[in-house]
Amino acid sequence: ILEDEFKIGFGAEHRKELGRRALQRIRMTRKAERTTEFEAAQRVEGFESQLQAQASLKIEDEFDEPPSNTEYAVKPDQVKILWNDIHDAHYASSWPDRVHHGHLERAADHVMPGQKRILSEEDDILADDDFTEAAEPPSVLKQ
């Protein structure tokens, strides 16, 4: 867009030619940027060469094997939803079959970590820690 505006002369009356010192500062800045980019590329290249020496190690991915517990045992094309509001659970039966429904226990830890910033211990802490899944679904979800 700016190139088109320069071609048609948009705002030409407000632009002025850059002076010798300004052009010199621009050249010096571009040279410093090229130097910094070159040094960063050298550091990255050195780091890559160090990693290549260790690349023969086998790193086991946690997703290579199925999970040992059944907490997250849903098929790859399924979605697992944990309900903590009974009102929302009433609509759970009309969702598609690929959606797996669970229910959360009523506890003080229903806020995911990182969602509430705790400023001090004196503040009222509404919730902390991870979600926990109920051992048995409520009667509303039983089918």
Q: Which residue has better confidence, 23 or 71?
A: 23
pTM of the model: 0.30
One-letter amino acid of 52: Q
Contacts of 138 (CB under 8 A, 6+ apart): 86, 89, 103
What are the pLDDT digits (tens) for 9-22? 777 777 778 899 99
How many residues are listed for the chain in this entry? 143
What are the pLDDT digits (tens) for 25-81? 999 999 999 999 999 999 988 888 877 776 665 555 555 555 455 555 666 666 666
Query: According to the model, what pLDDT value does residue 115 have?
Result: 46
CA atoms within 13 A on the CB side of 21: 0
What are the pLDDT digits (tens) for 78-104? 666 665 544 555 666 666 666 665 655
Could you tell me the residue ranges of all domains in the chain?
A: 2-54, 67-143
Mean pLDDT of 119-125: 52
